Structure formats: structure tokens, C-alpha cells
Amino acid sequence: MTAVVLAAVIGALFALGTFLLLRRDLIRVVWGLAIISQAANVYLLAMGGITEGTAETVPVLEGHGHEVHVPVGVADPLVQALVLTAIVIGFGMTAFALVLSYRVYEEHDTLDVSELGDRE
């Protein structure tokens, strides 16, 4: 059941991001790119494996003060680390793109992508 819900959420995020990416407003294009990158992050997390956690599957809680053995059903932490890095980089790129959009608006008095393309 969780996989079906995750697949629906990922599909909805990709659809919304694509819809916004095809708009004429530059701000919506930037938000479309941000939503697609977040959809890719959710997809990577889903592919890394999601298991319901218990006290036995959390190594910090299980082996405190003793030798820790990693249970079989634990998700791969490498995927989570990569996605966390991608979230930080994506946030920075979105902020930079929004600042560039504001600069474009100051220079051309419009954020319409087709109108900006006709001026060049």
C-alpha cells in the first residue's frame, strides 16, 4: 500500500512540475524545476527502501553501550545522505534562480518567457 501511495505522489509531483515548467511565467518555470527535483529526491528515497521502523531496527537504540550489529531490514543510509545533499543543493539553486528572475524583471520589466525571447 505504501508503494502505491508513493508512486502516486511521485507521479503527481512530476506532473505538477512539468505543468509549471511549460508555463510562460519565469517564476513558474523556476518552481517547476524545483518541484521536479524534489520529485526525483522522493523517487530516490523510495528506491532506497522504506521499512517500518521498530526499536530493533534502529541501531542506536538497540546496541547502546554494546557492540552494534546492523539488522537485515534497515534502509541503506547512502541514499538518504545523497538525497539530503541534493535537497541542500536544490534549495540553493532555486534561491539563485529566483534572484536571477528578479534581475531579469528589473532589466526587462517582464517575466514572460516568450516576450523575453522575442527581444533578443
C-alpha cell at 49: 527502501
CB count, 10 Å around CB of 88?
10
CA separation for the pair 91, 53 (Å, rounded): 29
* Residues in CB range of 3: below 8 A, 6 or more apart: 46
Of the two residues 2 and 35, the one the predictor is more confident about is 35
Identify which has the larger pLDDT, 54 or 28: 28
Q: Is the pLDDT of residue 82 over 60?
A: yes
pLDDT of residue 52: 67
CATH class held by domain 1-47+76-109: mainly alpha
* Interval 56-81 mean pLDDT: 66
pTM: 0.74
